[in-house]
Amino acid sequence: MSARTPSATDIQTFYDSYPELLVRSVKASPSAVWLGGKPQGLALSEVAPNWLFDIATGHGGRVRTTEGVFTVKALDDALPPARCRSAR
């Protein structure tokens, strides 16, 4: 599915609409559907396994989901999207 690049207004609307959402930069092996099918990206707390938001930055482990077993590593702190430098 393709989509247009969001405008600055679209991004601000998203931030304002989901103030309690957490975002975290992570690596996963194999590629994970909750990372857009990629091996590295931004995990959203509403979609990704909850465990990803509890581990310390720089640490990881294995997580089992309905899509399979993944080896993951947290690359950055879990933050609201407006504060996450990776989301900008």
Q: Are 74 and 58 in contact (CB under 8 A)?
A: yes
Phi, psi of 39 (to 5 degrees): -80, -15
pLDDT confidence of residue 40:
96
Q: Is the pLDDT of residue 82 over 90?
A: no
Cβ atoms 36, 48 nearer than 8 A: no
Residue 49 lies in a domain: yes
Top-confidence residue, 35 or 88: 35
- Where in the sequence is the domain holding 52, given as residue range(s)? 8-82
Q: Kindly state whether residue 87 falls inside one of the protein's structural domains.
A: no
Q: Is residue 1 part of a domain?
A: no
Give the number of domains in the chain.
1
Question: Rounded mean pLDDT of 29-53?
Answer: 92
Domain membership flag for residue 25: yes
The pTM of the full predicted model, rounded to 2 decimals, is 0.77
Is residue 2 a part of any domain in this protein? no
